Structure 1
């Protein structure tokens, strides 16, 4: 299966990360600082979409710039909009849109899970905090998203194939 959306989270010095978003149309790189729990916020926002919320948000603080993710769900699709703001407290209307795309909800969830599975493999969960800073690897948030996504794919009693993981979908 060809995946159009890819996310990559690369730790770039103590307390900084670059999040690269790639699809068939474009590539952007967003910076995040450890001053907030950006990965946790992002994963939780996606879990909320899977759970049925129709709009949710996450924000990456890049000190002083901020990148605000706005997710709007319409049935099985999610509009993903990213605004660049001069200050993270600014209203949406002060932001500049740097990304707008629409994805199937499963593609968005799969991309996020793969991204953070790759982070765990690349840095190791124990080394992650030392490189990222104040926050531990977002294992709880990642597993909550994975569980909701798996429950969605294998509803009520349908047991998932133990060999069919997010990595196996590649």
Structure 2
């Protein structure tokens, strides 16, 4: 299985650039502090590691990036749907599928954790909070995922 690439760029003034890729597909998202984007991602992965299907959305002002995790046997499917306007909620079917991935849970979690741990070591908790409208770095969720990885 080829490697999953994930990058959560250092937030600046309430914006972060996030990319996820696998094989020849990649999506780049510019996300806003309107949602607690990093916490939403890490929390959803905690739930996925517990066997739950889960979904959340990021706002790109005006774009919405809807992440949908579903379990299919021993693997998890990730679909990222893009919508033009987060202010006009639409059903999944109305979105454009900008990324899809079918993977074991471990490689996906590992890719995200590696990028987020790097972000934390480069920025620190205080600078992250300053750049992300005083929202605390999601350290508890990161630690939970790292613990899960050690056990699996």
On whether the aligned pair clears a TM of 0.5, the verdict is: yes
Q: Tell me, in whole angstroms, the C-alpha distance in 1 between the residues paired with 2:150 and 2:123.
A: 25
Contact 1:3–1:107, Cα closer than 8 Å, also in 2:
no
Q: Tell me, in whole angstroms, the C-alpha distance in 2 between the residues paired with 1:130 and 1:12.
A: 9
Q: Tell me, in whole angstroms, the C-alpha distance in 2 between the residues paired with 1:25 and 1:73.
A: 23
Root mean square deviation of aligned Cα: 1.6
SS at match of 2:90: coil
From 72, 90, 108, the equivalent of 1:74 is 72
Tell me what 1:93 maps to.
93
Decide which structure has the larger Cα Rg and report it.
1
Aligned length: 150
Q: Tell me, in whole angstroms, the C-alpha distance in 1 between the residues paired with 2:65 and 2:12.
A: 19
Unaligned runs of 5+ in 1: 154-170
Tell me what 1:42 maps to.
41
Contact 1:72–1:80, Cα closer than 8 Å, also in 2:
yes
Tell me what 1:61 maps to.
59
Q: Tell me, in whole angstroms, the C-alpha distance in 2 between the residues paired with 1:127 and 1:13.
A: 10
Tell me what 1:128 maps to.
128
Deviations 1:23-59 (A, max 9, x none): 2222221111111111111111111111111x21121
TM-score with structure 2 setting the length: 0.90
Contact 2:58–2:66, Cα closer than 8 Å, also in 1:
yes
Q: Tell me, in whole angstroms, the C-alpha distance in 2 between the residues paired with 1:43 and 1:3.
A: 22
TM-score with structure 1 setting the length: 0.81
Q: Tell me, in whole angstroms, the C-alpha distance in 2 between the residues paired with 1:96 and 1:110.
A: 27
Q: Tell me, in whole angstroms, the C-alpha distance in 2 between the residues paired with 1:11 and 1:84.
A: 22
Unaligned runs of 5+ in 2: none
Q: Tell me, in whole angstroms, the C-alpha distance in 2 between the residues paired with 1:125 and 1:132.
A: 10
Q: What displacement does 1:117 show?
A: 0.3
